[in-house]
Amino acid sequence: MSNGLSTTITCKYCNQLVTPAFEHANLLVCDHCNNVNRVQDNYGFAFSDYNLTNKFRLQQVLKTLKLHIPNTSMDYTLDGIMEMEYNEGSIFFLFAQRPTPAIYIHFEYQWYEATFSKGSVHVMNPSAIKTGDASQIFDAISYVIQREKDNKISLAGNVFLPAVTDSRTLVEHVVNHQLFFSFWSGHVYMGSFELKETTCPVNQTDFLHYTIQHTCSLCNKQHAIEGFPSIRSFICTCGTTCSIHEFGEVRELKTNTLKEESFLPLQAEATFDTVRYKVIGHVKKEDQDDFQWDEFTLWHKEQGFLYLSVFNGHWLKLNQVKLKNYVATNRSLLANKVFEDGESFDLFNDYQSKIVLSEGQFAGNIYNDGMYKAVEYTAPPKVWTFEKPHNEGVAAFKGEHLSEEDLRAAFQVELNLPQAKGIGMAQPFSGGMPVKRMRITILLGFLLVLATQFLSSVFNHNKFIFEQSAAIQPDRTFPTIQTDPFNLTKSYNNLEVEVNSDVTNSWLEAQVEVTNLNDGKSYTSEIGVEFYSGYEGGEFWSEGKRKTSFVFSALPKGKYQVNVTPAFDTNFPPSTYTIAIYADVPMYKNFWLILLFIAIPTIIFALVNYNREYYRWSNSNYSPFLQE
């Protein structure tokens, strides 16, 4: 770290000595006058860009908070705590001294272990960095989530902040799926925190939220907002909308009434993934094409926010997530596809939307956005949604289809839900099976049948049993052909009888009887060949065949004998015939029958799926059916 301090300094406010708790601390709170000193090159300077009232709150937290380093068995006393306000919430920094300083950051309901580094960068002027865009801050391309300028801070104890001047810029960005906070002081790059996700490292988390009290100036209603600094806006029952700014300053904005019944009542509780959430807010949104939908904000003080969205009676459950796993395919928010763990999501819609009705409390300040850009991607039953409010960072939401049954089960109260119409953006195939999984199941079924047939062909030996060829004497009756007894040794066997004759405009047939000599049971069939040809209208024609066969299947183990009694057309007798018998032959009839049974539901599924997808994408600006 830079700006390290190795000696005690004199407080610039009260001239008392101030000793840093750890070597690299560069913002020190004086225990005598409670003012903050900025340290540089072993000298102290006055620093007033902080909130004194919130400092006293953090000072009480610092006395009781214990830091537990993950993967160790020891607790450490905190040397400093800092709260940095950004546009829609707060970032908490925790500092502890061990063999080397330990820094932990809490940001949007996720804990990170922070490592400080300072190297070369390619961007000197942070104003050139745009949110929602790509920027070569380091050697590799960064995807910029948000850029904050002149963040307000509060602190207690001793902390380290890379940029301590009044003109500082914080850029949150992703490099190779790794999250970074990078700081500039004016046009000078001061360093970066590399953030790695970790488990909660402290003994209690109550300090992450505190209650804001406000009395509405229009109706005198008392409000207690317990989720600040994460909850940043609310609406009074009289219709006065309010936003909460730095360190709890409430600003009343305008009136905005809600005159319709909500599908999910405020303060109702629901359990998702074992977490008990509370419904705290409801908005109705409208896009540029006058389509409207409802969104509900649910909150849990430790797990954060969960969002439920409904359009045409189809529900989505969405969690806000960091963008570190998002790979943009171009330099803008809008891409043809996005990818997650090898799965691709297709661009479904992009729109500008605004809030037309609201009630309750909300994450961030929903009343300062106006029209904001949103982009949706789908791979049913999953979705990704990206939002870019005006002058704010990019927010990413990972979601999935939520069935009405699961929604009712989560709330366990009577709900008046809208009736579903059409096909939802993320609605899976009937029975809950996604289309992709259905296709994979059909393909695996086909491959299994193919493999079974291949193995059957490999292990069937086509064993020769009998063959007789002879000339036909028209003036004599065909004698019955009888084979010598033979054994079939498998539990289930097959026997193929093949008839071949040079019939021309005539026929030959054979009565075949297969007898099990052990139990006397017989199996019979008629096998015939015929062939006809000639000229008609100057063109040659032919039909029939001179060779055919029949397979007796599923014959049990035993000793067998075959009797064949041929007969032929005495008017046009053939000249020769051949009777051949084989055991344990490959069978393709069942193979084709099974394929047919697979093909029929496959075709039905394809037609039904085509129809479903057509109606699903009818609500999209990027329907693949319009491109056909």
- In the predicted model, is pLDDT for residue 589 greater than 70? no
At residue 591, the pLDDT reads: 67
At residue 52, the pLDDT reads: 67
- CB half-sphere exposure, 270, CA atoms < 13 A: 25
List, in sequence order, every residue forming a beta bridge with 153; answer none if it has no partner: 50, 84
SS3 442: helix
- What integer is the mean pLDDT of 274-290? 92
The residue ranking higher by pLDDT, 338 or 326, is 338
CA dist 612 and 623 (Å) reads 13
**Choice among 227-231, 319-323, 465-469 with the minimum mean pLDDT:** 319-323
- What integer is the mean pLDDT of 93-113? 87
Burial class (CB in 10 A: 0-12, 13-18, 19+), 146: buried
Helices (H), 331-434: 404-411
At residue 550, the pLDDT reads: 92
List, in sequence order, every residue forming a beta bridge with 319; answer none if it has no partner: 398
At residue 329, the pLDDT reads: 38
At residue 430, the pLDDT reads: 62
CA dist 450 and 447 (Å) reads 5
pLDDT tens digits along 506-554: 999 999 999 999 999 999 999 999 999 999 888 999 999 999 999 998 8
The residue ranking higher by pLDDT, 414 or 364, is 414
- In the predicted model, is pLDDT for residue 183 greater than 90? yes
**Choice among 460-474, 520-534, 582-596 with the minimum mean pLDDT:** 582-596
**Choice among 96-110, 204-218, 341-355, 451-465 with the minimum mean pLDDT:** 451-465
pLDDT tens digits along 20-48: 888 788 899 888 888 888 887 777 788 87
- What integer is the mean pLDDT of 293-313? 94
- In the predicted model, is pLDDT for residue 402 greater than 60? yes
Tell me which amino acid residue 40 is.
Q
The band of 99, judged by pLDDT with boundaries at 50, 70 and 90, is low
Q: Give residue for tokens 């700014």.
A: 245
- What integer is the mean pLDDT of 389-412? 86
Q: Which segment, 19-23, 247-251, 381-385, is predicted with the most confidence on average?
A: 381-385
Q: Which helix (H) or strand (E) holds 604?
A: helix 589-616
At residue 258, the pLDDT reads: 58
Mean pLDDT, the chain, whole residue set: 85
Question: Would you list the domain boundaries of the chain?
Answer: 9-207, 258-424, 463-585, 592-627
Task: Supply 235's token pair.
Answer: 């609406």
Strand 168-175 to 178-185 pairing: antiparallel
Q: Where are the beta strands (DSSP E) in 364-484?
A: 372-379, 382-388, 395-402, 463-471, 481-482
Helices (H), 288-363: none
At residue 457, the pLDDT reads: 57
At residue 519, the pLDDT reads: 93
Q: Which helix (H) or strand (E) holds 506?
A: strand 506-516
At residue 455, the pLDDT reads: 57
DSSP character at residue 313: T
The band of 454, judged by pLDDT with boundaries at 50, 70 and 90, is low
At residue 97, the pLDDT reads: 79
Distances from the Cα of 563 to the Cα of 480, 497, 500, angstroms: 7, 11, 17
pLDDT tens digits along 114-132: 999 988 899 989 999 988 7
- In the predicted model, is pLDDT for residue 333 greater than 60? no
- What integer is the mean pLDDT of 282-311? 93
Torsions phi, psi for 232 (to 5 deg): -120, 0
CA dist 351 and 369 (Å) reads 14
CA dist 284 and 401 (Å) reads 19
**Choice among 67-81, 117-131, 442-456, 594-608 with the minimum mean pLDDT:** 442-456
Whether the model clears a pTM of 0.85, i.e. scores above it, the answer is no
- In the predicted model, is pLDDT for residue 14 greater than 80? yes
CA dist 292 and 286 (Å) reads 4
The answer to whether the beta carbons of residues 258 and 266 sit under 8 Å apart is no
Q: Which segment, 88-102, 141-155, 312-326, 562-576, is predicted with the most confidence on average?
A: 562-576
SS3 316: strand
Pick left, alpha or beta for residue 205 (phi over 0 → left; psi -120 to 50 → alpha; otherwise beta).
Answer: alpha
Tell me which amino acid residue 544 is.
G
CA dist 178 and 176 (Å) reads 5
Burial class (CB in 10 A: 0-12, 13-18, 19+), 537: exposed
- In the predicted model, is pLDDT for residue 53 greater than 90? no
| Percentage of residues of the chain with pLDDT beyond 70 | 86
- What integer is the mean pLDDT of 449-474? 74
* Fold of the domain built from segment(s) 463-585: Jelly Rolls (2.60.120)
- What integer is the mean pLDDT of 56-65? 88
The band of 95, judged by pLDDT with boundaries at 50, 70 and 90, is very high
Task: Supply 513's token pair.
Answer: 């009887």
